[in-house]
Amino acid sequence: MMNEIKSMDNVLSNLSLRFMSLQQYDEIIKFKKFRWIKGYDNSPQLHTLYPSPPSIHDSKSIRVSTADTIFKIALVNSNKITQEVLDTLHSHIFDCSVAFRLALVQSLLCVGNSTSLQPIQQLLTVEKESMAVRNTCEIVLYKVLNSKGFLDAGTFIYVGDIIDGAANGEGKMYYKHNGQLIYEGTFKSNLFYGLGIYYDDNRNVQNKGSFMNGEFVE
């Protein structure tokens, strides 16, 4: 994995590639309807400033891939994510690419701390494009404010009490791709166990009561 990006300096450099903030994006849209999908505009001024829109440029894929790599590094060795790197992540979560914003906010699930609260709260106030980004921001806030642990289970993520490397105690489980809440309550050895609430895909309560070994009892 570490061969993907040779050093953290390269990671930070890749994050900055073709970076455009949400604020800059909004200003451009207000100035003139920029042809983002085709990647050009009839205005010479805009073409000079942004000859290749970062939302469709190949660098978008590089930025997203880099954010995913940070997430993987954070899972294996969170000590590599220094406060300097965190500060960089905080500034770049306001990127105009939804996929990039989501990947970076997901990385903060692993390594976010009290310094993450303000930028995450700010992103929540301006995020209008993606419910997945908003949901994941809420998860980061829940994790940091309540000093909870984090586990990546592939399709799912868990935020809550962790004992012996597993979900044990109070916690919540979410879909990873959109941050939607699936279950909140008590866990034992990574399974629903005890009192809890299970939600359907529309966030409606499907089961509420006692669970045992991952199954609803009553």
CA distance 201 to 153: 18
Most confident of 8-22, 62-76, 80-94: 80-94
Band the pLDDT of 63: cuts 50, 70, 90: confident
pTM: predicted TM-score of the whole model, two decimal places: 0.81
> pLDDT per residue over 150-193, tens digit each?
999 889 999 999 999 999 999 999 999 999 999 999 999 999 99
Got the DSSP string for 167-204?
Answer: EEEEEEEEETTT--EEEEEEEETTEEEEEEEEE-TTS-
> Which run of H or of E encompasses 135?
helix 131-145
> pLDDT per residue over 68-85, tens digit each?
888 888 888 777 788 888
Two tokens, residue 7: 């050093």
Mean per-residue pLDDT for 40-62?
Answer: 56
Neighbour count for residue 94 (Cβ, 10 Å):
21
Band the pLDDT of 54: cuts 50, 70, 90: low
Contact by Cβ (8 Å): 64, 99 = yes
Sign of CA pseudo-dihedral 72, 75, 77, 80:
positive
Among 45-54, 111-120, 163-172, name the one with the lowest average pLDDT.
45-54
Residue with the bigger pLDDT between 11 and 40: it is 11
CA distance 212 to 189: 11
pLDDT on residue 95: 85
Does 3 have pLDDT greater than 50?
Answer: no
pLDDT on residue 82: 85
CA distance 81 to 69: 11
Band the pLDDT of 14: cuts 50, 70, 90: confident
122 by Cβ neighbours in 10 Å (0-12 / 13-18 / 19+) ranks as middle
- Mean pLDDT of the residues in the chain: 82
CA distance 90 to 94: 8
Q: How far is CA 130 from CA 152, 179, 182, in A?
A: 21, 11, 19
pLDDT on residue 42: 47
Mean per-residue pLDDT for 28-36?
Answer: 53
Two tokens, residue 83: 């406060």
Neighbour count for residue 140 (Cβ, 10 Å):
27
Mean per-residue pLDDT for 113-142?
Answer: 94
Say if strands 156-163 and 215-216 run parallel, antiparallel, or are unpaired: unpaired
Please provide the distance, in angstroms rounded to a whole number, between the alpha carbons at the two ends of the chain: 45
Two tokens, residue 193: 């166990």
